[in-house]
């Protein structure tokens, strides 16, 4: 099964939305393969957001990602990267479609609730950046036969 990586950002911790966001992924049928709380620092954020370091909003983004600890998780499922990105919605919460996490829970471009990997390649890099191998668990949910048809597994 494909794995993807998410961060529940400080806005989610502060606004008490952790349960709401995680519940959506569990109800969808994604398996939580790893989950923990951690305090991000400038070093890891500069690597995670390397594509944005030259943008004028980067100092504000950096600060906002360190306001509280975050919750990082690895989600597993068929086509997990694309499924989780589509559940996440457009970057700016005000433009994100209703029914998406950002569309339902946020009002901001920066304080947009969640990070989700944008490709399987980046998911693999991000999982390795944030998790030790022993923090990711390979187990089978008993709900698997009710979640997928045999030819989807
Ligand atoms: P994504 O999170 O939808 O993949 P990226 O372009 O990778 O979007 O940007 C990473 C994060 O940087 C966003 O989730 C958001 O928090 C922040 N960000 C992106 N563009 C802007 C902007 O124009 N203003 C403020 N923050 C931004
Ligand atoms: Mg991105």
- Containing H/E element for 12? helix 10-14
CATH 3.40.50.300 fits 2-147, yes or no: no
Triad 128, 121, 61: Cα angle to 5°: 70
pLDDT in tens, 107-143: 999 999 999 999 999 999 999 999 999 999 999 999 9
Q: Give the pLDDT confidence score for residue 2 in this predicted structure.
A: 98
Residues having CB within 6 Å of any atom of ligand 1: 52, 57, 61, 91, 109-110, 112, 115, 118
- The residue ranges of every structural domain in the chain are 2-147
Retrieve residue 67's tokens: 């306001």
The dihedral built from the CA positions of residue 86, 90, 91 and 96, taken in this order, carries a sign that is: negative
For residue 112, give the DSSP letter. Answer: -
Q: Can you give the pTM of this predicted structure?
A: 0.97
Find the ligand nearest to 93 CA: 1
- Residue 25 pLDDT level (bands cut at 50, 70, 90): very high
Report the separation in Å between the CA atom of 118 and the middle of ligand 2, taken as the mean of its atom positions.
6
Nearest residue to 40 (alpha-carbon basis) of 140, 142, 134, 130: 130
Residue of 109, 114, 122, 125 to test ligand 1 pocket, by largest number of atoms within 8 Å of CB: 109
- Residue 48 pLDDT level (bands cut at 50, 70, 90): very high
Residue 112 CA: nearest ligand 1 atom is: 16
């Amino acid at each position: 099964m494909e794995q993807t990586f998410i961060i529940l950002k400080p806005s989610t911790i502060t606004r008490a939305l952790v349960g709401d966001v995680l519940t959506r992924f569990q109800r969808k049928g994604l398996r939580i393969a790893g989950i923990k709380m951690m305090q991000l620092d400038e070093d890891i954020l500069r690597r995670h957001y390397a594509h944005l370091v030259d943008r004028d909003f980067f100092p504000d983004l950096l600060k906002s990602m360190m306001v509280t600890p975050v919750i990082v998780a690895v989600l597993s499922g068929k086509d997990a990267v694309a499924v989780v990105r589509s559940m996440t919605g457009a970057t700016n919460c005000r433009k994100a479609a209703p029914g998406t996490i950002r569309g339902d829970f946020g009002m901001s471009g920066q304080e947009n609730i969640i990070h989700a990997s944008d490709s399987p390649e980046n998911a693999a890099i991000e999982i390795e950046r944030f998790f030790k191998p022993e923090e990711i668990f390979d187990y089978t949910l008993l709900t698997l036969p009710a979640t997928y048809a045999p030819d989807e597994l």
